[in-house]
Structure formats: C-alpha cells, structure tokens
Amino acid sequence: MLDFAAARRMMVDGQVRTSDVTDLRIIGAMLELPRERFVPEANAALAYLDLDLPATAASGGEPVRRLLKPMVLAKMVQAAAVKESDHVLDVGCATGYSSALLARLARSVVALEENPALARRARENLEAVGAGNVTVMIGPLTQGWPAKAPYDVILVEGAVELVPPALSRQLNDGGRLVAVVGRAPPGRAMVYRSVAGEVSGWPAFDAAAPLLPGFAAPPAFVF
C-alpha cells in the first residue's frame, strides 16, 4: 500500500520547494492536506505526481476537469500573496483541493464550481479536512460570485484565453486576480491588480494548465 505521507513529502520537496515556492504557510499546508482524498479513488496512487490530475471522467462531450499540478497551484497561490485577513474567490474549485489550501491561508474562501457533482464532492472533502471557512457555491465560472464580492484575491483554477470583466469587477481595491493565460505552449501565469477601479496585469511565471470551460476566446472573424 502506498505511503501517502511519504509521497506528500516527496511532492513538496521535489516539486514545490524546487520551484521557488518559499512561503512556509503554503509548504506547511501542502504537507498536511491529503491530496489523495481530492482525486477519484482509482487515481489515488497518482495524487502526488507532477500531473494535472483528472477530477472527472470524459462523459457526454463534457470536458474532463482536472486539478492543477501541485507546483503550478503553489506558485499561483504564492503570486497571489494571500494574507490571513483576505476574502478569496476560488474559481473552478473542482473537488476542493485548492480551496482547502487557500482555507489554511485566508480568512474566508468562496469555492465556485459549475458542475453540481464536483461541488457536492468538494463540500464533502472540505468538511472532512475541517475547512470550515469555505463556502461552496454553484454557478457559471465566468460570472464569479458577485453576491459575496468584493474579493481580496481571485484564483482561477485553470487556463483562460481571456479574463472575463465580470471577475475583474469583483476585486476589492488592491485585490489580486491570478490565472494562467493562454494555451500551452506557451502559457503564462498572470497577476492582475485592481487599483482605484483600474486593473493592470504583469507576468509571474511560465505555466501550462488545462483550459477551463467557458474561458476560450471567441473565434476571430476571417474574411
């Protein structure tokens, strides 16, 4: 039987620490959270590999949803500079692993998911790991969750070809939105900050991530 605790340490030491993740709060949370719980049971042995792990199976033409690679997630969270007082929106929480990580760092987390089955699993998983400061909501990912805005941090759990204005408008003054922009290759993690109603962005690091449903750019018109 796989020693998940040992695999967790190897993930942190071999994937996260070696990728310039220096925030000890992120490292500590990843050492504690049982990532194997957040993937389908058949994939538990793969939970700590350097992979975007499937959280759903291909069905009815629906895209497979995945958990971000541990290294990419850790670097995105570090780039977001999450503080203990922050109110966070986790867009595309899937089975809740990213929300459980954010819950260890922030005051409160809204975990947004549009797939009801995934949202149900996220609630179960988050309750099991004691993430009582997370609220799971169901709705279109591109619309965010304005009812609980503004947010100090918005984390988008996948690649986007465009950042919907609806998300940017939900940032607090000084708030940060982090997403992987562009399909691989190349893709780039971007940090956007809202200051006095104006949003500007800058690149944080090169990254690849699965495209989130609804975040593709509209096809360009060609003569």
Confidence of residue 160 (pLDDT cuts 50, 70, 90): very high
- In this prediction, residue 56 has a pLDDT band, given cuts at 50, 70 and 90, of confident
DSSP 8-state secondary structure symbol assigned to residue 219: P
Count how many Cα atoms sit within 13 Å of the Cα of residue 134 in the half-sphere of its side chain: 30
Q: For the chain, where are the alpha helices, taking DSSP H only? A: 4-11, 24-32, 70-80, 97-103, 116-128, 165-168
- The Cα 98–Cα 20 span in angstroms is 19
Higher pLDDT, 15 or 62: 15
Tokens (6 digits) for 53: 């792990």
Residue 116: other Cβ atoms inside 10 A: 9
**Block residue for tokens 């990532």:** 35
What is the model's pLDDT at position 64? 85
Residues above pLDDT 90, as percent of the chain: 84
Write down the pLDDT at residue 218. 76
The residue among 145, 151, 147, 144 whose CA lies nearest residue 174 is 151
- The first and second tokens of residue 147, run together, are 């009812």
Average pLDDT over residues 76-91: 98
Contact between 176 and 120 (Cβ < 8 Å): no
DSSP one-letter string for 40-93: -GGGGGGTTSSS-EESS--BTTBPPPEEPPHHHHHHHHHHHT--TT-EEEEET-
Residue 117 burial (10 A CB sphere; 0-12, 13-18, 19+): exposed
| Alpha-carbon span 44 to 72, nearest angstrom | 19
